[in-house]
Structure 1
Amino acid sequence: MAQTTAETKQNETVRKNSLTFEDQVIKKIAGIAANDIKGILGMSGGFMSGLTERFRASGDITKGIDAEVGEKQVAIDISVIVEYGKSVPSIFNETIAAVKKAVNDMTGLDVVEVNMHVEDVMTRSEFEEKHRQAEKENENSRQLD
């Protein structure tokens, strides 16, 4: 039995197009945007992560970032290591602006909340030294495997 034009139109309006994003995608966008902020030395994976996890050069850009993604909105939590002597409120405001812009420009999602947790403060030289040590430890552990 053939459908009438009215029935066909009704069936077409029932279908909806959709665009969705994995949480990991939003976390990656936020991580890249936050890593570009002067004064953020690196992301931190939380208190349970070891130093080698924090400073690994080949580390996951999403480490230390959590995102709750809805259909139209997203909330983001970021844990960071901040450079000693820098204005943390300024870094926070720059991070909010950069993350909101990057996520909205790339996904169209409205970032309703950005929370930043400062997990550590280090001088740049201290951070770089710990980073080098962590790389050596990772290299040594790979050689043992």
Structure 2
Amino acid sequence: MDAIQNLEYGEIRIAEDVIATIAGLSAIEVNGVAGMSGGLVGGIAEILGRKSLSKGVKVDINEKGGFIDLYLIVDYGTKIPEVAWEIQDKVKRAIEVMTNLEVIEVNIHVQGVNFLKATAEEGKPQGTK
């Protein structure tokens, strides 16, 4: 269901994909987020590129408002609860400001941890143990 606003001269419909893209862009701007997750493939979380941000987001809109689920991969060493709270706040604010849709929930699902950044900072080539 799209977000619909009835106005004096007609209505405005905002597709769920638009809301998902806003949520995804807002989430990856937070330090500690390695990327959006496309789900678990063979037990390994797949990091999506910028063009696929909405695939790591599930949007549900009903008469109460918007419910957002974000599937993320975080960087190793990240304080996950702190990052999650920042993501929730940033996503909620961005969607409400840009679309005027009331966001009821922003649920964070951590699907994996990115170790590549940690090994690069230690001076090891990426992908080595």
Preserved CA contact (<8 Å) 2:26 2:94: yes
What residue number does 2:22 align with?
29
Q: Normalising to structure 2: TM-score of the pair?
A: 0.75
Structure 1 unaligned blocks of 5 or more = 1-14, 131-145
Q: Does 1:94 align with 2:76?
A: no
1:8-64 CA distances to partner (integer Å, 9 max, x unpaired)? xxxxxxx8732221110000000000010000001001124897x934546412121
* Alignment equivalent of 1:64, drawn from 56, 62, 71: 56
Distance 1:48 1:69, change over 3 A: farther
Q: Normalising to structure 1: TM-score of the pair?
A: 0.68
Please report the RMSD computed on the Cα atoms of aligned residues, expressed in angstroms: 2.8
**In structure 2, what is the Cα distance between the partners aligned to 1:74 and 1:96?**
13
Q: Which 4+ stretches in 1 moved above 6 angstroms?
A: none
- Write the mapping of 1:1-145 to structure 2, written as runs, cut at 5 A: 17-48=10-41, 54-55=46-47, 57=49, 59-70=51-62, 73-125=65-117, 129=126
Q: Following TM superposition, by how much is the alpha carbon of 1:125 offset from its aligned partner in structure 2, in angstroms?
A: 2.4
Specify which structure has the higher proportion of strand.
2
Aligned residue pairs, count: 115
Q: Following TM superposition, by how much is the alpha carbon of 1:126 offset from its aligned partner in structure 2, in angstroms?
A: 6.2
Specify which structure has the higher proportion of helix.
1
Q: Following TM superposition, by how much is the alpha carbon of 1:123 offset from its aligned partner in structure 2, in angstroms?
A: 2.5
